Amino acid sequence: MIKPLLDRVVLKMVESEETTKSGIILAANSKEKPQVAVVVAVGPGGNIEGKEVVMQVKENDKVVFAKYAGTEIKLDGEEYIIVKQSDILGVIE
């Protein structure tokens, strides 16, 4: 389990199949990296380099995030992406 620092958020990629079922497909060509993921862990936010950051996403939120943002890691066979909250564009409801 990864506990993100500061304003970081750990995301788990949504499988392509799951993406299709929910009707969400990226507009760009299908070879590009999908940008929809589920939040699995949220950093504490707080005072980050002198600026107050309030975390606005929570576990299990399905989110859209900025292409090329974040760092990918694998843990126990699962792929995760760690992004800053500011790289998250919106929550899908």
Which residues in this chain contact a copy of itself in the complex, by CB under 8 A? Answer: 1-6, 8, 10, 23-28, 35-36, 41, 43-44, 46-47, 49-54, 56-57, 64, 66-67, 71-77, 79, 82, 85-86, 88-93
- Count of C-beta atoms within a 10 Å radius of residue 65: 23
Least distance (Å) between residue 12 CB and a copy of itself: 12
3-state DSSP assignment of residue 17: helix
Dihedral sign for Cα 60, 18, 80, 46, please.
negative
3-state DSSP assignment of residue 19: helix
Of 18 and 46, nearer to a copy of itself (C-beta) is 46
Least distance (Å) between residue 77 CB and a copy of itself: 7
Residue entry with tokens 């506990």:
3
Q: What count of Cα atoms within 13 Å lies in the side-chain half-sphere of residue 41?
A: 12
Least distance (Å) between residue 91 CB and a copy of itself: 5
